[in-house]
Amino acid sequence: MGVRMALMNEWSVGQMPKLGLKGPTVLLGVTMTVLGIMPVVRAAEQDKVTMMVAPNVATRDPKNWDWSTDNLVARTVTTTVSGAVNAAGTVLPAGTSFVQVADARIVNGFAVGLTIDNTTGQYQAGDTITIPLYGEMISDNTVNRQRYDLVRANGVLQHDKQMIGAYEVVGQALRLTLQATPIGRVDSHLTITGSTAAPLPEAPIWAAKTGSARIVFGQTEVVGHFAFASRFQTDAPGVATQHIFTKSDQMGVGSYYQDDGYMNALLRGDATKTAQIRENDQFATSDLVQIQQVKIEAGTVLSVNSSSGYSTYYVVDKNKNGDYQATVISATTRQMNTEPTYAQTFVTIDGAASDETIARELARNGRGAYTTRLNDDGSYTLAYNMGNPYTEWGIDNFHDGSFSTFLQQHQATGALTLADLKQLDANIGRAGGDHPSEGTGSHGHQF
């Protein structure tokens, strides 16, 4: 018996079998081909590339220039910002809303320009120039600030159809590597479309609801505004999902589970609904076991490791009916690791064991049990017991006493008053049964 889950990329999966048997629930992955690093994102206005011809040859080794720390760079590299760019590719100028339409996310695309004055020959081919490039949200009372990364991108910058250099936007900076020595003054412009997965505001920013948003590039910025409305997690059955993460030198495969219907029933104190889900839901009567088959088509695998399990809890607000409901805003600014690697148990399993056998063995060893196996065909089998989502993922894992205490400790109470928080705890206590998984949220694990 098992459950197959579709990856969020282009890999296909098999048919979902019928459920109904007791025992460990198996989350089956598929063979995944890792082809390399993230896709290249290029500016829309880029033309055919031709190399800029420099009149001189580099007379020294390449040098790294930092705009933030070198005043000479700040004087010879000037920047402009035309606006933020949303997921539809629309440039949003100063004074407009930088919020994604009908969403709680802030726009993370950008339209920028730079001019390099190299009349003194300061910059040569092979040099790199790093310039700050980031976004920031500031509440109207200026108490809360949140700096965020803009959408990652890489490609080439040109001046008059001649290449200036290759750029990469990552880690709140634009890094330009000169492919040729610039002649005199050169300029270039870059427009990168925002992502539908743009950043969500942190709880204090979201609670403030209104404020300014800005994109900063070097010495210039463009300032818009935000006004966040509550966007709720809608009641829905529990869903198990798989992800694949890739970087230039590593990859990860993960699974997570979230039951919005159960979570919201807890928050509004619907004991009948929560009892029904705990008794009859397809994932409620057994441990949840993540099983994935991974095959690396190119490259060398140096190590395979299990990471910590993690949980996500959400800010709570009242909906239009006055009921408590989870929003999409995380109650914490960082991932909450809830199953440290030192508390996990490695289980050795026979190489010929089936997925069902692996699931039973990991379930027998309890939450946090895992195994990794190199198969004869060069693929890897990775499996992890995530535990039971309705009896083992409570806020008691963090020793915070109650869900409202947890929200207060993380400055994530939103618009709720102390009386609201007291009522919220009473609702959870009434609806949680023997294992009140306060604000269940989501739970996941990654190899």
pLDDT, tens digit (0-9, with 9 covering 90-100), for 250-283: 778 888 888 999 999 999 999 999 999 888 877 7
Percent of the chain exceeding pLDDT 70 equals: 82
The predicted pLDDT at position 126 comes to: 94
- pLDDT greater at residue 5 or residue 276: 276
Q: Could you tell me which residues are beta bridge partners of residue 252?
A: 245
In percent, the amount of the chain with pLDDT more than 90 equals: 40
Q: Which of the four pLDDT bands, split at 50, 70 and 90, describes residue 2?
A: very low
* pLDDT at res. 422: 93
* 7 secondary structure, DSSP code: B
**Length of the chain counted residue by residue:** 447
pLDDT above 60: residue 88: yes
Q: Do the Cβ atoms of 39 and 193 come closer than 8 Å?
A: no
Amino acid identity of 146?
A: Q
pTM of the model: 0.66
- Pick from 59, 155, 74: which is nearest to 116 by CA? 74
| CB of 264 closer than 8 Å to CB of 238 | no
| pLDDT band, residue 85 (cuts 50/70/90) | very high
Q: How far apart are CA 374 and CA 390, in angstroms?
A: 32
* Tens-place pLDDT, residues 204-246: 888 888 999 999 999 999 999 998 887 888 898 888 888 777 6
Confidence of residue 7 (pLDDT cuts 50, 70, 90): very low
The predicted pLDDT at position 32 comes to 34
Whole-number Cα distances in Å, 62 to 132, 164, 173, 180, 239:
20, 15, 20, 11, 51
Per-residue buried b or exposed e for 409-444, using 16+ beta carbons within 10 Å of the residue's own CB: ebbbbbebeeebbeebbebbbebbbeebbbbbbbbb
